[in-house]
Amino acid sequence: MTDPIRVDVVSDVVCPWCFIGKKRLEQAIALNPDIPVDVHYHPYFLNDWIPSEGISREQYLTTKFGSPERYKEIATRVSAAAAQEGLVYAIDKVNRQPNTTDSHRLIHWAEQVGKAPQMKQRLMELYFSEGADLSDKAVLVKAAQDVGLDGDEIARKLATDEDLPLLAQRVEQAKAAGIQGVPFFIFDNAYAVSGAQAPEQLAGVIRKIAEERQQNAAG
């Protein structure tokens, strides 16, 4: 099989199940070492109402769940699921709820040099594991440098409106396609999987597509 199987992932960097789902997709790909896969990340705003400067985590949890206490049970469950995948969701370190527009711009710019997965991972680690504020442009510039992007160039771009209309268009496309929850995986423009499913399930979809391609080539 010459052409890799394309996987489009719609997700947000502050979505814990997207953090887990990314790892599970990578595990799924590793379960099929002979099948080439090409992953592309697409923006989604889990909380499009948050202002550009972000808000306190307490204010966010109160607005979304009624109180920080109400989120604790959910957070404990999600944190345990993350730990099973070797990820750290340090609930107590997260003090700010960011607007993720600039994070998605970083991922888009990183994709242009083949580093979108690394950029996505670094932003998620900063937020979930280190409690960093992704609304802080200095944090974003450092994150870009961490994955090998030019910090000065990124700082310059972040100070402009570059690619904001494109980002908004891509988010609207996801909504128009009926995507209401993330992570959302689209395999080869043919199969859709919603949620952070088990690696084995995702790997099965990849194998199914590879087998269908072989059958079509033989037939």
| Domains located in the chain, CATH noted | 5-218 (3.40.30.10)
Tell me the mean pLDDT in the region 47-66.
96
Name the percent of the chain lying above pLDDT 70: 99
- How far is the C-alpha of 208 from the C-alpha of 197, rounded, in Å? 16
- According to the model, what pLDDT value does residue 218 have? 84
Give the residue carrying structure tokens 């607007």. 99
Compute the half-sphere exposure of residue 168: CA atoms within 13 Å on the CB side of its CA: 5
Closest CA to 31 of 159, 209, 204: 204
- pLDDT confidence of 160, banded at 50, 70, 90? very high
Query: Residue 204 carries which side chain, given as an amino acid letter?
Result: G
The arrangement of strands across the sheet holding 5-11 comes to 37-43, 5-11, 184-187, 191-194
